[in-house]
Amino acid sequence: MADTLPSEFDVIVIGTGLPESIIAAACSRSGRRVLHVDSRSYYGGNWAGFSFSGLLSWLKEHQENSDIENDSPVWQDQILENEEAIALSRKDKTIQHVEVFCYASQDLHEDVEEAGALQKNHALVTSANSTEAADSSFLPMEDESLSTMNCEMLTEQTPSSDPENALEVNGAEVTGEKENHCDDKTCVPSTSAEDVSENVPIAEDTTEQPKKNRITYSQIIKEGRRFNIDLVSKLLYSRGLLIDLLIKSNVSRYAEFKNITRILAFREGRVEQVPCSRADVFNSKQLTMVEKRMLMKFLTFCMEYEKYPDEYKGYEDITFYEYLKTQKLTPNLQYIVLHSIAMTSETASSTIDGLKATRNFLHCLGRYGNTPFLFPLYGQGELPQCFCRMCAVFGGIYCLRHSVQCLVVDKESRKCKAIIDQFGQRIISEHFLVEDSYFSENMCSRVQYRQISRAVLITDRSVLKTDSDQQISILTVPAEEPGMFAVRVIELCSSTMTCMKGTYLVHLTCTSSKTAREDLEPVVQKLFIPYTEMEIENEQVEKPRILWALYFNMRDSSDISRSCYKDLPSNVYVCSGPDCGLGNDNAVKQAETLFQEICPSEDFCPPPPNPEDIVLDGDGLQPEASESSAIPEANSETFKESTNLGNLEESSE
């Protein structure tokens, strides 16, 4: 691959997280020559999503990554006298304190493997012995952490891992499950939850039939491709910056979305649904008639609070929680507004921040459904791939499993002039964007990182049972002790294409104060119970049962000043990993800010051109251009789709 790479680009991007992917797409769209590389074998970095076996492989990679030692720098011979090198790190230290627990019955047999494993994209797959992986001796017991687990699984990311093979869609919201994704030229078999059994021959299970409602680890392994497990848990505000960017750039045609169907609250040991819309408020049986009027009056004020400064003057220096106490709201309403609408805690937000959060929540209501949020089908990990595809469409070049050894800096100008890759090739560029995790410890010695505590659970039922088993929920559990943080819980059903039928995928997230397990296990114990044989026989159990659990801490490198990085050249820009916030606004703001520094006079991700306005010079057409020349035909059919995303409230009725 290195022999065929051009030796010069306008922009080199290292890392395929969401901010880097947006910038790469924007630069490619504006006509810049873009090289986008990642040492990983998958797109997304810490924004990625995996099938179940892919996640186990990711865990194993991080276990092995801690043992990597930096080899002697063979690239030093290529550094000239007037140059110096900034070595990049081979170790990824953004994930720590990983612990895995399996509560489902571990009745694995040697011939159990993930359905459809042979249909993986082998360009992104590292070969492994799946028979060895299936052996139960390689599974973690309930009291074992990752350090004692040694299971090799085929590496696999979410469907459409390759931007060139990403699936085109016909709308932004899906009410049912799909079998195939087709455009006017090709029809790509879906790897969704519904059609794996149709497209892939699965050996019949000749073992004894399991008991009713019993879900085993064998089933989870076998149906592993039906899981799409994100490393970071986020939602899209329906009027947020990312939705606006998806519509504006027409990248929305590469993805599909589901509405979050309900917002929940945890109070006095019980989970209950929070009314969102005006109709929900007046139909609610949780609120008295007086409370309904109080709530509507306060929310109406929040929508236009800036017009009434006298209502909050003098309260700017106190918390939003204290401010709510001064309003004519009952404790029940204060709890709902604070934790389920503003989605903050007693100490985290000032009055102004709380009012802004409440207004943003209300502003996003009704655009696409009864809640302010959307979730991408197949998970958050699809979004970086969507922008990578846009970059590739306009001529960007992609290289996965392609590491960069160092940045070459001119001593006189103190600007970076090139990179040297793993093959020793020197590639020149004007601008360099590097994801934070690629910098060495020496470069980041002055950086003070925060941490995010994450947990991923596979459960057998919803935290709040209703008539429908296809609910997508968000729940905020307040902190019980000072110094702790509220925990955000997002529960996904099988119609999101993130888990197998009969299970739910639950993401827990909070700002770290200890290890992830120490931060999140108290909340897990409040909402769930372990999956045991004794509990299976008890049909009266109210709490969902945990089949499998993963805890880990992730580095939060957001909002760090570039001056904290030691001796950073002026034309090297740092992209941060995921932050702890619910939305994606931080990534979009960062991408737009860096793009304007690189291309100050260019529009940020403008709409694609109308096919009728494109005139191609056949004589000067390069291979990359000939590939992108096929795009207008697709755009002519799909240009209306982003408009549908913007006007989905009509179809959601």
Domain harbouring 320, CATH code: 1.10.405.10
From 339, 364, 389, the end of a domain falls on 364
Same domain for 293 and 423, yes or no, is no
166-206, pLDDT tens digit by residue? Answer: 333 333 333 333 333 333 333 333 333 333 333 334 444 44
Name the DSSP letter for residue 573.
E
Same domain for 428 and 562, yes or no, is yes
Between 137-146, 425-434, 554-563, the lowest mean confidence (pLDDT) is in 137-146
Question: SS3 for 644?
Answer: helix
**pLDDT given for residue 9 in this prediction:** 96
Pick the residue with more confidence: 457 or 621?
Answer: 457
Same domain for 331 and 385, yes or no, is no
Same domain for 360 and 418, yes or no, is no
Between 308-322, 367-381, 411-425, the lowest mean confidence (pLDDT) is in 308-322
**pLDDT given for residue 480 in this prediction:** 81
3-state secondary structure 382-426: HHHHHHHHHHHHCCCEEEECCCEEEEEEECCCCCEEEEEECCCCE
Same domain for 71 and 40, yes or no, is yes
Axis-axis angle for helices 289-303, 351-364 (nearest 10): 100
Across 3-22, b (16+ Cβ under 10 Å) vs e yields eebeeebbbbbbbbbbbbbb
The pLDDT-based confidence of 280 (bands split at 50, 70, 90) is confident
Q: Say which CATH number the domain at 63 has.
A: 3.50.50.60
- Per-residue tokens: 314: 């003098």
Instruction: Check the CA dihedral 159-163-168-172 and report its sign.
Output: positive
Helix (H) or strand (E) holding 187: strand 187-189
Q: What's the rounded mean pLDDT across residues 342-354?
A: 88
Same domain for 403 and 430, yes or no, is yes
Whether 477 is in a domain gets the answer no
Whether 140 is in a domain gets the answer no
Whether 536 is in a domain gets the answer no
The pLDDT-based confidence of 116 (bands split at 50, 70, 90) is low
326-338, pLDDT tens digit by residue? Answer: 988 999 999 999 9
Number of domains in the chain: 2
Same domain for 64 and 28, yes or no, is yes
Amino acid of residue 304: E
**pLDDT given for residue 535 in this prediction:** 53
Whether 199 is in a domain gets the answer no
**pLDDT given for residue 195 in this prediction:** 39
Angstrom CA distances, 235 to 143, 152, 423, 473, 488, stand at: 32, 31, 39, 11, 11
Whether 591 is in a domain gets the answer yes
CA–chain centroid gap for 413, Å, is: 38
CB 295 within 8 A of CB 336: yes
Whether 87 is in a domain gets the answer yes
Angstrom CA distances, 447 to 444, 450, 486, 566, 570, stand at: 5, 10, 25, 9, 18
Half-sphere exposure of 118 (CA within 13 A, CB side): 4
Whether 219 is in a domain gets the answer no
**pLDDT given for residue 106 in this prediction:** 77
Pick the residue with more confidence: 202 or 473?
Answer: 473
**pLDDT given for residue 313 in this prediction:** 84
Same domain for 283 and 357, yes or no, is yes
Same domain for 89 and 25, yes or no, is yes
Positions of E strands within 252-396: 257-259, 262-267, 270-274, 373-376
Q: What's the rounded mean pLDDT across residues 96-116?
A: 77
Same domain for 359 and 430, yes or no, is no
Angstrom CA distances, 119 to 87, 125, 190, 379, 476, stand at: 38, 11, 11, 20, 39
Helix (H) or strand (E) holding 452: strand 450-459
Same domain for 444 and 572, yes or no, is yes
The answer, yes or no, to whether residue 381 has pLDDT greater than 90, is yes
Diameter of the chain measured on Cα atoms: 79
Same domain for 341 and 400, yes or no, is no
* Boundaries of domain holding 308: 277-364
Angstrom CA distances, 110 to 102, 113, 116, 136, stand at: 18, 8, 17, 8
Q: What's the rounded mean pLDDT across residues 121-132?
A: 33
From 330, 364, 398, the end of a domain falls on 364
Whether 627 is in a domain gets the answer no
Q: What is the mean pLDDT of the chain?
A: 79
Question: SS3 for 627?
Answer: helix
